[in-house]
Structure 1
Amino acid sequence: MKIILQNNEEDCLLACYTMMLNDLGHRIPLHEVCNKDSLPADGLSLSYLLTLNDRFGVTINAYRTSFDDLLKIYEETKRRMIIHWNNDHFVVLEKIKTDRVLIVDPAIGRIRYHKSEFMEHYSGTMIMVNKGNEFKPERYNPIFWSYFKKTLQVKPISLFILSLLFIQASVLL
Structure 2
Amino acid sequence: MDCGPVSLKMIAKFYGKEFSLDKLRSITFTTKEGVPLLAISEAAEQIGFKTVGGRLTFDKLEKEALLPCIVHWDQDHFVIVYKVKHKGVFRKQSKVFVADPAYGLISYNEEAFKEHWISTKSDGKDKGIVLLLEPTPAFFKQEGQTENRGSLKFLFGYFKQYKKFFVQLFFGLLLGSLFQLIFPFLTQAIVDTGIANKNVGFIYLIMLAQLVLTVSRMMVNFTRNWILLHISTRINISLISDFFIKLMKLPMSYFDTKLTGDILQRINDHQRVEQFLTARTLNTLFSFFTLIIFGIVLWIYSFKIFLIFIVGSIVYVLWITIFLKRRRLLDFK
User: 3-state DSSP class of the match of 1:26?
Assistant: coil
Max Rg structure: 2
CA distance in 2, matches of 1:102, 1:37: 25
Question: Is the aligned partner of 1:111 residue 2:99?
Answer: no
Q: Structure 1 residue aligned with 2:143, among 134, 138, 147?
A: 138
User: 3-state DSSP class of the match of 2:38?
Assistant: helix
Give deviations 1:51-82, integer Å, cap 9, x for gaps: 423431122111201112211214xx4x2111
User: 3-state DSSP class of the match of 2:75?
Assistant: coil
- Compared CA separation, residues 144 and 130, structure 1 to 2 (3 A): same
Equivalent residue, structure 1, for 2:10 = 19
Q: By percentage of residues, which structure has more strand?
A: 1
Partner amino acid, structure 2, of 1:48: A
Q: By percentage of residues, which structure has more helix?
A: 2
Superposition map of 1:2-151 within 5 A: 10-35=1-26, 38-74=29-65, 77=66, 79-98=67-86, 99-123=94-118, 124-135=128-139, 136=141, 138-142=143-147
Partner amino acid, structure 2, of 1:52: A
Highest RCO, 1 vs 2 (Cα 8 Å, sep ≥ 6)? 1
Residue 134 of structure 1: CA displacement? 2.2
How high is the sequence identity, in percent, across the aligned residues?
26
- Compared CA separation, residues 44 and 117, structure 1 to 2 (3 A): same
Partner amino acid, structure 2, of 1:68: D
What is the TM-score normalised by the length of structure 2? 0.37
Residue 144 of structure 1: CA displacement? 9.2
User: 3-state DSSP class of the match of 1:110?
Assistant: strand
Gaps of 5+ in 1: 1-9, 146-169
User: C-alpha root-mean-square deviation of aligned residues, in Å?
Assistant: 2.8
- Compared CA separation, residues 120 and 37, structure 1 to 2 (3 A): closer
Is the deviation greater in 40-49 or in 65-74? 40-49
User: 3-state DSSP class of the match of 1:129?
Assistant: strand
Gaps of 5+ in 2: 87-93, 119-127, 151-159, 164-333
Partner amino acid, structure 2, of 1:106: P
Q: Does the CA contact (< 8 Å) of 2:73 and 2:79 recur in 1? A: yes
CA distance in 1, matches of 2:114, 2:28: 35
Structure 1 segments, 4+ long, off by >6 Å, are none
CA distance in 2, matches of 1:16, 1:40: 16
Residue 40 of structure 1: CA displacement? 3.2
User: 3-state DSSP class of the match of 2:115?
Assistant: helix
- Compared CA separation, residues 130 and 110, structure 1 to 2 (3 A): same
What is the TM-score normalised by the length of structure 1? 0.66
